[in-house]
Copies of this chain bind each other. A is one copy, B any other.
Amino acid sequence: MHDPDHRAVTLADVARLAGVGESTVSRVLRNQGSFSKRTQAQVAEAVASLGYVPNRLAGMLAGAHGTAGAKLVGIVIPSLGNVVFPDLLSGAASVLDRDGFQSVIGVSDYDPAREEALIGALLSWRPAGLIVTGLEHTDGALARLRASGIRVVEMIDTDGPGLDIVVGFSNRAVGRDSARHLLARGYRRIGYVGHDVTRDLRAGKRLAGFTETLTEAGMPLHDREIAAGASSAAAGRAALDRLLARTPGLDAVYFSNDDMALGGYFHCLAAGLAIPDRLALFGFNALDITAAMPQPLATVRTPRRAIGAVAAERLGAGGPREVVDLGYDLIPGATA
Which residues of A269-297 are within 8 A (CB) of B? 269-270, 288-289, 291-294
The smallest beta-carbon distance between A13 and chain B, in angstroms, is 14
Cβ-closest chain B residue relative to A235:
B292
Q: Is the CB of B1 within 8 A of A164?
A: yes
Known pairs A56-B124, A61-B58; A1 contacts B289 (CB<8 A) = no
Judge whether A237 and B292 touch: CB under 8 Å.
Answer: yes
Cβ of B56 and Cβ of A149 under 8 Å apart?
no
Q: Give the bracket for the number of chain A residues in contact with chain B.
A: 35 or more
Q: State whether the Cβ of A330 lies closer than 8 Å to any Cβ in chain B.
A: no
Of the candidates B1, B60, B152, B232, the one whose C-beta lies within 8 Å of that of A149 is: B1
Determine whether A161 belongs to the interface, using a CB cutoff of 8 Å to chain B: no
**Are B232 and A2 in touch, CB under 8 angstroms?**
no
Instruction: Determine if B121 and A102 form an interchain contact, defined as CB atoms under 8 angstroms apart.
Output: yes
| CB contact under 8 A between A126 and B232, given known A2-B164, A83-B81, A294-B266 | no
Q: Are A80 and B89 in contact (CB under 8 A)?
A: yes
Contact of A54 among B56, B124, B259 (CB under 8 A): B124
Report yes or no: A292 in contact with B125, Cβ–Cβ below 8 A.
Answer: no
- Residues of chain B within 8 A (CB-CB) of A8 are 126
Given contacts A57-B57, A124-B53, is CB(A80)–CB(B86) below 8 Å? yes
Among B83, B102, B120, point to the contact of A53 (Cβ < 8 A). Answer: B120
Kindly list chain B residues whose C-beta atoms are within 8 Å of the C-beta of A60: 57
Near B by CB (< 8 A), chain A positions 49-92 give 51, 53-58, 60-61, 64, 70, 80-81, 83, 86-87, 89-90
Given contacts A1-B163, A126-B55, contact A292 B266 (CB under 8 A): yes
Whether a CB of chain B sits under 8 angstroms from the CB of A201 is: no
User: Within 8 Å of chain B (Cβ to Cβ): is A145?
Assistant: yes
Residue A151 is within 8 A (CB to CB) of chain B in the complex: yes
Give Cα A144 to B54, complex, Å.
Answer: 13
Query: In the complex, what distance in Å separates the CA atom of A81 from the CA atom of B287?
Result: 11
Is A38 interfacial (CB 8 A cutoff)?
Answer: no
Report yes or no: B288 in contact with A152, Cβ–Cβ below 8 A: no
A89 to B66, CA, bound (A): 35
CA distance A163 to B60 in the complex (A): 31
Closest to A72 in B: B57
- Residue among A2, A151, A237 with max Cβ neighbours from chain B (10 Å): A2
* Interchain CB contact (< 8 A) of A1 among B104, B145, B288: B145
Which residues of chain B are within 8 angstroms of A90 by Cβ–Cβ distance? Answer: 80-81, 107
**A30 located at the interface, meaning its Cβ lies under 8 Å from any Cβ of chain B in the complex:** no
A150: Cβ under 8 A from any B Cβ = yes
- Say yes or no for A6: interface residue by CB 8 A criterion: yes
Q: Which residues of A contact B (CB under 8 A)?
A: 1-3, 6, 8, 51, 53-58, 60-61, 64, 70, 80-81, 83, 86-87, 89-90, 93, 102, 104-105, 107, 120-121, 123-126, 143-152, 163-164, 232-234, 236-237, 259, 262-263, 266, 269-270, 288-289, 291-294, 321
Known: A56-B126, A102-B104, A266-B294. 9 other contacts (CB 8 A): A2-B150, A6-B149, A55-B61, A57-B60, A57-B126, A232-B292, A236-B292, A237-B292, A270-B294
A sample of 20 cross-chain residue pairs with beta-carbon separation below 8 angstroms, ordered by A number, consists of: A1-B152, A2-B149, A6-B148, A53-B124, A55-B124, A57-B60, A57-B125, A58-B61, A81-B83, A81-B90, A93-B107, A105-B105, A232-B289, A233-B288, A233-B291, A233-B292, A259-B289, A262-B292, A266-B293, A269-B294
